[in-house]
Structure 1
């Protein structure tokens, strides 16, 4: 395998299409005939600003982003947005309700996995309002301590007028994802949100962005995503922000809100066309190439159908193996992620999981080790992973239970 590219099933930074990487190599040397590489070119040049506009248009058209929302680009990843959404949404709430004390303000957090847990912890650290747990999925789990599924709608308890309502659509570490079928009990309970006004709904889509349609996209206040899963390399963060949430944070600060660092202010970024400071030019360029490829293939509709088939094949193979005692799926059926499938290997000798990983790597399949906090195996099926690569992994999963049956596609 030394002279071949491995198949990267890692959770991130994730696989990128080979055709995109090949084109990006050209742009690193000479971007659009300028004689200057994309990593060197001025972010205020007409070539780069045109590229940025094209990237925005690709996201808007492929996701059907309404004109009520702006698309902006920044840095800091999803973790940076754990802080930014708190500060910007508290500034908005301060402008709407200037006479409330910090104790009277509430931020709602839906806890379904490790990332939403971290987001809530950051909100508590920053202060400015109390943090209310809408639901903690661990209390509804089989062992009362694991994140193993989406709780029932009846378990959600939203505040009346929160400054923000945060949820993580796909939990990369724990393999839990809200269903995009609103009739599913594992869907997000939009129907339970507070009545009246515009919902301050914040969605973390970092590990599922552009993999399938976003339910009720117009009803969200903020959607954010680190690019390094389905869109591009690390270094770029994409935000879709409803225009009423792009507020004058300095005016809010004069009323007592926490001052917002200038590069975290949505208004600063939006007013500057995402060019207030030097953006991640290379990451933006590769994201543009990825979404141009996506458009040619059929956009979100194409990837949603492909990703659904990939996930179904892997889950089917794992359930078959689980019935025979070889695997344990860590997430309840119906709540399993399409992007990150987590499980344990139970048998085939001592140190079964280590042997499973070694055997997969010998076949050129890497990045399958589970997150250090939960262990096990994690299969990440981001957009760049093909159906053929998925089928090869499925053959290996099945072959682990009957080794003589392993056959791989050519």
Structure 2
């Protein structure tokens, strides 16, 4: 059966060549005669491969030596909890006599995932959650996530334990601009001055799709792999070394106990093999990263993804002129990864999806919480595949 075009938001498309190489590796990993899903995670062959994966990320993203690269499980949702616990432990060690009600966690809420992250922080307790900016307040209906707030809409705390933002919102299709002159860029200039910033970036759905602005200023960057570089089951962390704290020492001072597999220092001290890591997803991610390096790394994909998104948004604009499509996100805040729009008219959305599927284009239906259409343009989605969906959209507009 021929492969379809997969526009799914995650788990998402992977390059055919990588899947073919991974299939061979299931039978024989690096000439060991043992399949990758069977080999010991402590074998010299796998640990060497894991070191290569780390190197491929470090060189392509220009990660400084001040930061460690770690591999774990649990996805971005698992990090909603882990990052709070680790950063509160750090803050406790820095300020042992501060009462819990005087500790603050700053959250920038721009979509469904950052809202869930803030909700988890409230559930865990140990500090007050302060919403430094809420995109809904600046939307057309004061309820929707259709924008990135302009810089004058932010108010950060003076000494928060963490400052969280989600770089790309997979559900709502909004994304911070990488252009520092854009009103939709992250307001780095407004962050508290003095000391090392407790800045946390959730890059789950845009990781390795373009360079990360001011990466060295982040305390933690994390990403689930199942968007741009691998299958579900792997989470990648970039952690500044001052955040690799002794969580047990913090617990003795009153911080919440951190589960051992969630403690960043544990992961670092064990080179990410404290327990069995996600061996197969790490292998596939490594194959993707090798291919990325050959093609030109994140700079290559940044330009490619811009071209793909421009073509798609142009098609949506043509549909808006005809009263057929309607973009969900304000211009300037639109995602390069997850393009969302509505198809207007009775039963036309269902017809649009059915027509796309008849042409071998799958997973175009929007997230169940917001509806509409969502076309994800992750790295493995080719420009030719985007041309195909754009041609279908133009055909749909005319008919």
Band the TM-score falls in, shorter-chain normalisation: over 0.9
Post-superposition CA distance 1:338-389 (Å, at most 9, x none): 0000000013xx3111110000001000010000000000000000000000
**TM-score normalised over the length of structure 1:** 0.97
Query: SS in structure 2 opposite 1:166?
Result: strand
* Equivalent residue for 1:63, pick from 38, 43, 61: 61
C-alpha separation in 2, matches of 1:180 and 1:323: 29
Q: 1:380: which partner in 2? A: 376
Post-superposition CA distance 1:55-103 (Å, at most 9, x none): 0000000000011000000000000000000000000000000010000
Q: 1:295: which partner in 2? A: 293
Query: SS in structure 2 opposite 1:223?
Result: strand
Q: 1:396: which partner in 2? A: 392
Q: 1:130: which partner in 2? A: 128
Deviation at 1:242, TM superposition (A): 0.3
C-alpha separation in 2, matches of 1:116 and 1:300: 24
Post-superposition CA distance 1:82-133 (Å, at most 9, x none): 0000000000000000010000000000000000000000000000000000
Deviation at 1:324, TM superposition (A): 1.5
Deviation at 1:398, TM superposition (A): 1.0
Q: 1:235: which partner in 2? A: 233
Q: How does 1:18-167 map to 2 (within 5 A)?
A: 18-167=16-165
C-alpha separation in 1, matches of 2:108 and 2:53: 31
Deviation at 1:152, TM superposition (A): 1.1
- What is the aligned residue count? 399
Deviation at 1:276, TM superposition (A): 0.2
Q: Flag structure 2 segments of 5+ consecutive residues without an equivalent.
A: none
Q: 1:7: which partner in 2? A: 5
Q: 2:335: which partner in 1? A: 337
Query: SS in structure 1 opposite 2:26?
Result: helix
Deviation at 1:194, TM superposition (A): 0.4
C-alpha separation in 2, matches of 1:143 and 1:325: 20
Deviation at 1:320, TM superposition (A): 1.4
Deviation at 1:397, TM superposition (A): 1.0
Q: Flag structure 1 segments of 5+ consecutive residues without an equivalent.
A: 404-410
Query: SS in structure 2 opposite 1:33?
Result: coil
Query: SS in structure 2 opposite 1:31?
Result: coil
1:363 aligns with 2:352: no
C-alpha separation in 1, matches of 2:273 and 2:150: 43
Deviation at 1:33, TM superposition (A): 1.1
Deviation at 1:308, TM superposition (A): 0.5
Q: 1:406: which partner in 2? A: none
Deviation at 1:52, TM superposition (A): 0.2
Deviation at 1:323, TM superposition (A): 1.5
**TM-score normalised over the length of structure 2:** 1.00
C-alpha separation in 2, matches of 1:190 and 1:196: 13
Q: 2:282: which partner in 1? A: 284
C-alpha separation in 2, matches of 1:90 and 1:269: 17
Query: SS in structure 2 opposite 1:125?
Result: helix
C-alpha separation in 1, matches of 2:188 and 2:88: 22
Structure 1 stretches of 4+ with a deviation exceeding 6 A read none
C-alpha separation in 2, matches of 1:268 and 1:323: 55
* Equivalent residue for 2:174, pick from 173, 176, 182: 176
